[in-house]
């Protein structure tokens, strides 16, 4: 198998000019500034340090842009990872999170090299909407602690324990924290409307504006609220120490399941983001190259103290809207973040956690496709069951279980639907009225023809039983018209072999006619045609009836020409 490694950056460099660089520069600076508050907020919400979020954005952002399969993809930590990363940190610790991230990166890299990028498109939209809305709810619930300033040392990762802990500590609401968080939330929700009337606001991304305003209010009024400095002792103004996470070989066994979850969500979100970007710039991304880049990003980030990353839809859209059209913009975004860390890191100590909590809550509200719940009545019960089951299991249990359940339900409903579309119907013959020799004395047929429709597969093979039903009589010749049979699997083949054997025991001859290419190929390769006999394979129903007259000599004197 030929492995292709061709980043989009290589396609963009020929013909690259100063005018495009100016656009990419402006876009990269804008997205880099936007990524700063989001990286810190997502990291804190995930149970990690804000520095871990920033370095994840820097490393993943650079690799995604330089080696990815999309012209405009921006990589980094995202809100969708919050419940997954928080759960891993709570259960296994931060060192094991980095180990799970590296393992997930290896999985993603293997998927890309194996050219499995297109397989992600097989996930039904009902499953995607279900877990996306579920993740949004989990993110929102996880921010209640910092939004209300509740006195909870460690918020449990498990849903019911988390609800119990929030309810038990509801009395510990901190009013200054709640006031600041509420003001930031309302300001950010209404930011786009305000920007239409205030020219200054149009020049700054909403999360950055809220971060600056919230920090200034907290500092100038000396609000007694928790900040990055009070909880995390600020952000180091230096490059992180490069090193491998402190793990033993025994740790990797328990990290396989979390790593699969990270890889699965990372693949889905990055390819969805790239597909959205394609629509915005009229381009086509390479899904396999994108998975390779995401794999390398997740392998590299933990060596710098980072964690799970993927393509970020909001930052990618911002990149496109501000003029970015090549991976250079994504590289500049990473360098801007690096410059902010090395120059302005001490200022981050004053950022209140309530402001970051409000930013994450707004992200959760915006990422959910809530209108889909209102439109469920327009769709089938199967669609509703899949979406709601995936949503509820994501919220209550785990994303991996939710996606697995959603896919299983989707497959079962698809099998049921396909089996319903598969039909085997009795085909009336005009000869029944013209030739009394075709009938037994009791009026049942000596020659019976059946038409097959759809796909004869494991979910519909039981449809063959109608041919052996005593009510169908005991014909001496059974004709199977396969002109409308488009697909046959090995279980369907086994069903036909069983049918042939039972008909032979009854002294009945089976004829088939009108085979399409796929069923015909399988019947030939399996040896079924040899068992049946070449003479009993006919081009169409008319030819099959001629063969039946030969097999039953008393019909019209056994002369085929008399038919």
pLDDT digits (tens, 9 = 90+) for 62-118: 999 999 999 999 999 998 899 999 989 988 888 899 999 999 999 999 999 999 988
Reduce the secondary structure of 423-456 to three states and give it as a string.
EEEECCCCHHHHCHHHECCCCCECEEEEEEEEEE
Reduce the secondary structure of 5-57 to three states and give it as a string.
CCCHHHHHCCCCCHHHHHHHHHHHHHHHHHHHHHHHHHHHHCCCCHHHHHHHH
Lowest mean pLDDT among 247-251, 504-508, 534-538: 247-251
311 closest CA partner among 139, 365, 320: 320
Handedness of CA 244, 248, 249, 254 (dihedral sign): negative
Contacts of 554 (CB under 8 A, 6+ apart): 437
Structure-block tokens of residue 28: 């990269």
Handedness of CA 254, 257, 262, 266 (dihedral sign): positive
Its pTM surpasses 0.85: no
263 closest CA partner among 88, 392, 387, 1: 88
State residue 482's pLDDT score. Answer: 96
Structure-block tokens of residue 519: 């069923």
Tokens 């969708």 label which residue?
A: 80
Tell whether the model's pLDDT for residue 395 goes beyond 90. yes
The mean pLDDT value for 428-455 works out to 69
State residue 130's pLDDT score. Answer: 93
Compute the distance between CA of residue 367 and CA of residue 271 in angstroms, rounded to an integer.
Answer: 16
Q: Do 337 and 306 contact (CB within 8 A), yes or no?
A: no
For 518-553, the DSSP string reads HHHHHHHHHTHHHHH-GGGEESSHHHHHHHHHHHST
Tell whether the model's pLDDT for residue 553 goes beyond 90. no
Question: 156: which DSSP letter?
Answer: -
Report the largest interatomic distance among the alpha carbons of the chain, rounded to a whole angstrom: 110
Tell whether the model's pLDDT for residue 121 goes beyond 80. no
131 closest CA partner among 442, 400, 428, 524: 400
Local confidence band at 563 (pLDDT 50, 70, 90 cut-offs)? very low
State residue 446's pLDDT score. Answer: 80
Length of the chain: 563
State residue 185's pLDDT score. Answer: 96
The three-state secondary structure class of 311 is: strand
Local confidence band at 557 (pLDDT 50, 70, 90 cut-offs)? very low
For 88-101, the DSSP string reads HHHHH-HHHHHHHH
Compute the distance between CA of residue 204 and CA of residue 212 in angstroms, rounded to an integer.
Answer: 10
Letter string b/e over residues 16-32, b meaning 16 or more CB atoms within 10 A of that residue's CB: eeeebeebbbebbbbbb
Structure-block tokens of residue 463: 């449809």
Handedness of CA 161, 163, 164, 169 (dihedral sign): positive
pLDDT in tens, 203-223: 778 898 899 999 999 999 999
Lowest mean pLDDT among 243-252, 438-447, 473-482, 492-501: 438-447
Handedness of CA 65, 87, 243, 292 (dihedral sign): negative
Query: Going from the N-terminus, what domains does the chain have, and what CATH number goes with each?
Result: 21-382 (no CATH), 383-420 (no CATH), 422-562 (3.30.750.24)
Q: Is 558 left (phi over 0), alpha (psi -120 to 50) or beta?
A: left
Q: Is 305 left (phi over 0), alpha (psi -120 to 50) or beta?
A: left
pLDDT in tens, 331-374: 999 999 999 999 988 999 999 999 999 999 998 998 888 999 99
Structure-block tokens of residue 449: 């023809």
Tell whether the model's pLDDT for residue 562 goes beyond 50. no
The mean pLDDT value for 374-394 works out to 94
Tell whether the model's pLDDT for residue 173 goes beyond 90. yes
Distance of CA 329 to the CA centre of its chain: 26
Q: Please report, for residues 39, 126, 353, the alpha-carbon distance to residue 384 in angstroms, rounded to integers and kept in the order given.
A: 34, 8, 38
Q: Is 515 left (phi over 0), alpha (psi -120 to 50) or beta?
A: beta
The share of the chain scoring above pLDDT 70, in percent, equals 94
Q: Is 527 left (phi over 0), alpha (psi -120 to 50) or beta?
A: left
The three-state secondary structure class of 561 is: helix
Distance of CA 309 to the CA centre of its chain: 15
């Amino acid at each position: 198998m030929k492995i292709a490694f061709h980043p989009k950056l290589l396609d963009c460099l020929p013909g690259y000019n100063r005018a495009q660089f100016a656009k990419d520069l402006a876009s990269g600076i804008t997205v880099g500034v936007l990524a700063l508050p989001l990286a810190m907020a997502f990291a804190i919400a995930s149970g990690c340090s804000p520095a871990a979020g920033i370095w994840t954005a820097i490393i993943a952002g650079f690799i995604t842009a330089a080696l990815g399969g999309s012209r405009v993809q921006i990589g980094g930590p995202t809100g969708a990872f919050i419940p997954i990363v928080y759960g891993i940190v709570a259960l296994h610790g931060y060192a094991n999170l980095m180990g799970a991230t590296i393992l997930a990166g290896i999985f993603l890299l293997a998927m890309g090299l194996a050219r499995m990028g297109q397989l992600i498109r097989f996930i039904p939209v009902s499953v995607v909407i279900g877990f996306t809305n579920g993740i949004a709810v989990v993110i929102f619930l996880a921010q209640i602690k910092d939004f209300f300033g509740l006195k909870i040392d460690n918020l449990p990762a498990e849903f019911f324990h988390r609800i119990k802990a929030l309810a038990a500590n509801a009395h510990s609401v901190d009013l200054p924290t709640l006031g600041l968080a509420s003001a930031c939330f309302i300001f950010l929700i209404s930011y786009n409307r305000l920007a239409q009337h205030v020219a200054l606001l149009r020049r700054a991304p909403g999360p950055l504006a809220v971060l600056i305003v919230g920090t200034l209010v907290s500092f100038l009024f000396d609000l007694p609220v928790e900040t990055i400095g009070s909880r995390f002792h600020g952000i180091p103004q230096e490059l992180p120490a490069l090193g491998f996470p402190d793990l033993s070989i025994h740790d990797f066994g328990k990290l396989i399941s979390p790593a699969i979850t990270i890889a699965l969500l990372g693949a889905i979100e990055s390819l969805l983001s790239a597909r959205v970007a394609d629509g915005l710039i009229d381009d086509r991304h390479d899904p396999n190259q994108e998975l390779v880049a995401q794999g390398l990003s997740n392998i590299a980030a933990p060596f710098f103290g980072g964690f799970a990353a993927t393509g970020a839809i909001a930052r990618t859209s911002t990149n496109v809207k501000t003029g970015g059209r090549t991976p250079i913009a994504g590289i500049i975004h990473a360098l801007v973040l690096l410059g902010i860390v090395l120059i302005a890191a001490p200022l981050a100590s004053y950022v209140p956690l309530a402001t970051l909590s409000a930013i994450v809550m707004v992200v959760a509200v915006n990422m959910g496709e809530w209108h889909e719940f209102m439109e469920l009545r327009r769709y089938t019960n199967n669609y509703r069951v899949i979406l709601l089951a995936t949503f509820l299991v994501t919220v209550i249990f785990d994303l991996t279980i939710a996606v697995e359940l959603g896919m299983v339900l989707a497959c079962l409903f698809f099998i049921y639907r396909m089996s319903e579309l598969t039909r085997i119907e009795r085909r009336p013959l005009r000869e029944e009225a013209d030739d009394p020799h075709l009938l037994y004395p009791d009026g049942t047929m000596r020659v019976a023809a059946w038409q097959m429709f759809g796909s004869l597969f494991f979910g519909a093979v039981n449809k063959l039983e109608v041919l052996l039903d005593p009510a169908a009589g005991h014909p001496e010749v059974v004709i199977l018209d396969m002109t409308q049979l488009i697909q046959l699997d090995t279980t369907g083949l086994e069903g036909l072999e069983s049918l042939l054997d039972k008909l032979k025991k009854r002294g009945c001859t089976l004829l088939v006619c009108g085979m399409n290419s796929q069923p015909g190929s399988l019947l030939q390769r399996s040896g079924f045609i040899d068992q049946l006999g070449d003479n009993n394979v006919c081009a169409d129903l008319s030819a099959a009836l001629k063969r039946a007259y030969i097999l039953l000599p008393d019909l019209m004197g056994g002369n085929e020409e008399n038919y």
